Amino acid sequence: MKRAVVFAHFDKDNIVDDYVVYYLKALKNAGTDIVFVSCNPINNKEVISDFVINIIDEQHDEYDFGSYKRGYFYLKDCLNKYDELLFVNDSCFGPFYSLDIVFEQMEKENCDFWGITKNLYACKDKSKKTSRMRPHIQSYFIALKKCVFMSEIFDDFMKSIQHEEDKFKIITKYEIGLTQKLIESGYSYKTYITAYEKIDNSPILKWYQLILKYKMPFMKCSLARLKNNMVATVAGYDDVICKVSCYPIKLIENNALRYGVELKHYSPASIFIKRMAYNTALFLPNFVRKTLVFLAGFALKHLKD
């Protein structure tokens, strides 16, 4: 299958980090044509020139879907020659497994669009004060087949993307909204990873199980930047990745340092205790989980790593 990729990028220093270069190279080696779209002008375009067919780096405040929109309209006149259109962003380290394996498996699936993982997301209706589940493909990796990306329905959706002040609205209107719109229009979807589908945001909460047992190709960058440390531990990330891949761990460590985080290398005992604490706390009420996580972090300071 011939694939086009729109790769959405954001960096706090307006550069293309080495882990992004690695990801782009893997996509290129998997036979895709990549349009790289950054929401700000970038300073080192030359590092990706060999891997992409075009670079769009203009300031916009429409987040990932604004970049997806710009890449889509750049490709629109030549999309007919592609079998799949992928929307991918830079929020993940990886891939740890060959993307050829992912593509080969998903080519066998009978569906109109697919992704790596889906989220349940309890969407609160502010007016009725209720919550409802709205399963959707997570926006870090979405693949659309020709019947979708050549449709008027999809084109209208992409035209509707605009700046939103509220992150909740961005998720609701675009990340959730795309899957919901396509389902309502009669299209079907599948996911590459089907494990832990009833756990919301499994790439965060079950990241190492997914990598080790289910060939998850990615790890979310937010884990290494300690953005999720109230719900998940990144302890042992290096051992997990090295068991399944030759991925350069330094790419993760160096990016974390840029975000002010020096990743620690824990002893097996510390990793076991940390994971046990987080897994135990996973389904507990929020205040109980936070207390347990705090106590576990305090105790681990007194363990030799």
- Partner residues linked to 20 by β-bridges: none
Question: Over pLDDT 70: what percentage of the chain?
Answer: 90
Q: Name all domains of the chain by residue range, CATH numbers in brackets.
A: 3-191 (3.90.550.60), 202-300 (no CATH)
pLDDT grade, residue 101 (50/70/90)? very high
Q: pTM of the full predicted structure?
A: 0.90
- At 298 the pLDDT is 65
For residue 21, how many C-alpha atoms fall within 13 Å in the half-sphere facing its CB? 14
pLDDT grade, residue 303 (50/70/90)? very low
Strand runs labelled E in 53-167:
54-57, 84-89, 92-93, 113-115, 118-119, 122-125, 130-133, 136-137, 141-145
- At 281 the pLDDT is 72
- At 198 the pLDDT is 83
- At 223 the pLDDT is 96
For all residues of the chain together, what is the average pLDDT? 90
pLDDT grade, residue 125 (50/70/90)? low
pLDDT grade, residue 289 (50/70/90)? low
What's the CA gap between 212 and 208, in Å, rounded? 6
Stretch (H or E) spanning 5:
strand 3-9
Residue 256 has pLDDT above 60, yes or no: yes
Token pair listed for 131: 């919550």
Q: Cα torsion at 148, 73, 170, 165 (round to 10°)? A: -160
Residue 188 has pLDDT above 90, yes or no: yes
Question: Over pLDDT 90: what percentage of the chain?
Answer: 72
Lowest mean pLDDT among 52-61, 123-132, 156-165, 220-229: 123-132
Strand runs labelled E in 172-254:
189-191, 219-220
Instruction: Taking residues 53-71, report their average pLDDT.
Output: 95
pLDDT grade, residue 35 (50/70/90)? very high
Residue 149 has pLDDT above 90, yes or no: yes
